[in-house]
Structure 1
Amino acid sequence: MEQMVRHPLQRLASPSRKISLLLHTAGIASFLSSFRFLAQWEAEIAAAFGGHFQFLTIIGLSLALFTFVVGLAADLTLSPALFQAKNSLAVCSAPLEVLITILFWGLCAIDKSLVFPPESELTLIPNLGFHAAPGLFLALDLLLLSPPWTIEGFAAVALSQTMAFLYWFWVEYCYKQNGWYPYPIFALLNTWQRAALFTFSAFLMTGSTMLLKWSHGKVNGVPAETE
């Protein structure tokens, strides 16, 4: 299969059976390791409606895994279509994982009990696997192995708001089935405060999208017409 011509603002060859394949393989191994830990983790939420997928962390991890699986398939087949599909998925998964990283470690710095009860607290290594590694792998994929994103501000806002409020509706639906929220912070807020939190998170994700896009330009060079 013919390999597509590399974009002039893409630092390394991808799809490729070299560095690109190694990065996607390492990312998949990391994500699967986190899922393996999750399967062995005894927690009440596993038996509840929605299971672990009540956590935004697990939704983001699943999307990151799917993104890298498509990326690995592109590396193995050298398929331009799969490469473009990986890049489209990354526009959602990379900013989401950056958002998850910021929210998790930011809330933990304030009070760890906002994100999980004391009896469910994870040690550092699993926490890094869930709340740092996905964002790092996806950022590296963007900065080193991807062409510039074409998404603009309005589209980024619309995408972020849609994802944020879909998750909110899902959380509220699970709450009606289970009688409790996956994250303790949700129970501390009233409806309007939760709306404000999800709106803020959506704009933070938009900011993550723009930051990643800007970082790609700084790492790989900015087109002359934008300088």
Structure 2
Amino acid sequence: MMPRLMSLVINLIGLYSNIYALKNLNKPPFENPAFLGFGGKYQFLTILGLTIATIAFGLKVIRFFVPRFSPVIYAIVTNIATPMEGLISVLYWTMMLVDPNLLLPKDSPGIPLLLDLTLHLFPALFLWIDFLVFDIEFKRSNAHVGTIAIFSIFYFFWSWYCQFKNGFWVYPFLEAFSLPLRLGFFVGSGTLCWCMYELGAIIHSKLHDNSSATTAALQPSFVLNKKEA
């Protein structure tokens, strides 16, 4: 029971962190004028990822109390949220180290540290810990890979449509890219997200070779009694 409680705590902290980030977006001293354009904050991959991750944390909390709640939606949401948040963290912190103006307007005051961490680090950290340590029921699936590919294609066309409506790309570095470079960036990002999923699946399988015994140990007593009956 203790591992399940630890998983619940991690997911509650992750849920609170995400709600904090969503609640404090675009408040002084950090205000992004792009939020006023078509699509608002949902032009940003960070916010889409954060929203999906928030739903994932919520589903994980619900499933602590109702273990078989909505398995299909749970699988779709969690298996795109985890690699996507990993991708967002890697891309964001790498670009910020290279040049913050790749992601932020030149006159931007910068994102407050706590908000920055809740947007670009904590979601990935909590999702990956819960996935690798506590999500013993995970099984790699081509359907998960397909979901990642579909979302990558969706975001390419969504960001392009927002640019068409607003007259600017939501991320400054995309403004300097030609169409082939933009396409290459989106394809590369989707591929990196897929690779993170595959790497996570490999590490997960190594960590949970004896998952059948662990699964029985972690299941609620009423589930075990039902099986024995």
Q: Which runs of 5+ in 2 are unaligned?
A: 212-229
Name the counterpart of 1:218. 206
**Structure 1 residues 162 and 88 mapped into 2: Cα distance closer, same or farther (>3 Å)?**
closer
Letter of the structure 2 residue corresponding to residue 173 of structure 1: Y
CA deviation digits over 1:61-101, x for unaligned, max 9? 000000111111112x3331346643432111000000101
Name the counterpart of 1:42. 31
Matches within 5 A, 1:147-186: 147-152=136-141, 155=143, 157-186=145-174
CA distance in 2, matches of 1:158, 1:86: 16
2:15 to 15, 28, 36: 28
**Structure 1 residues 21 and 148 mapped into 2: Cα distance closer, same or farther (>3 Å)?**
closer
Name the counterpart of 2:115. 126
CA distance in 2, matches of 1:27, 1:107: 24
Letter of the structure 2 residue corresponding to residue 128 of structure 1: L
Letter of the structure 1 residue corresponding to residue 162 of structure 2: C
Q: Which runs of 5+ in 1 are unaligned?
A: 1-5
Q: Structure 2-normalised TM-score?
A: 0.82
Residue pair 2:87, 2:193 contacting (<8 A) in 1 also: yes
Residue pair 2:76, 2:147 contacting (<8 A) in 1 also: no
CA distance in 2, matches of 1:74, 1:157: 23
CA distance in 2, matches of 1:210, 1:222: 20
CA distance in 2, matches of 1:180, 1:133: 29
Name the counterpart of 1:55. 44
CA distance in 1, matches of 2:180, 2:157: 14
Residue pair 2:136, 2:208 contacting (<8 A) in 1 also: no
Letter of the structure 1 residue corresponding to residue 11 of structure 2: H
- Identical aligned residues as a percent: 26
2:86 to 91, 94, 98: 98
SS in structure 2 at match of 1:12:
helix
CA distance in 2, matches of 1:148, 1:46: 39
Residue pair 2:62, 2:69 contacting (<8 A) in 1 also: no
Cα distance, 1:107 vs structure 2: 1.3
Name the counterpart of 1:3. none
**TM-align CA RMSD:** 2.3
Letter of the structure 2 residue corresponding to residue 26 of structure 1: I
**Structure 1 residues 173 and 54 mapped into 2: Cα distance closer, same or farther (>3 Å)?**
same
Name the counterpart of 2:63. 74
CA distance in 2, matches of 1:45, 1:67: 27
Cα distance, 1:151 vs structure 2: 2.8
Residue pair 1:53, 1:59 contacting (<8 A) in 2 also: yes
Name the counterpart of 2:130. 141
**Structure 1 residues 20 and 87 mapped into 2: Cα distance closer, same or farther (>3 Å)?**
farther
CA distance in 2, matches of 1:58, 1:69: 16
SS in structure 1 at match of 2:169:
coil
Q: Structure 1-normalised TM-score?
A: 0.83
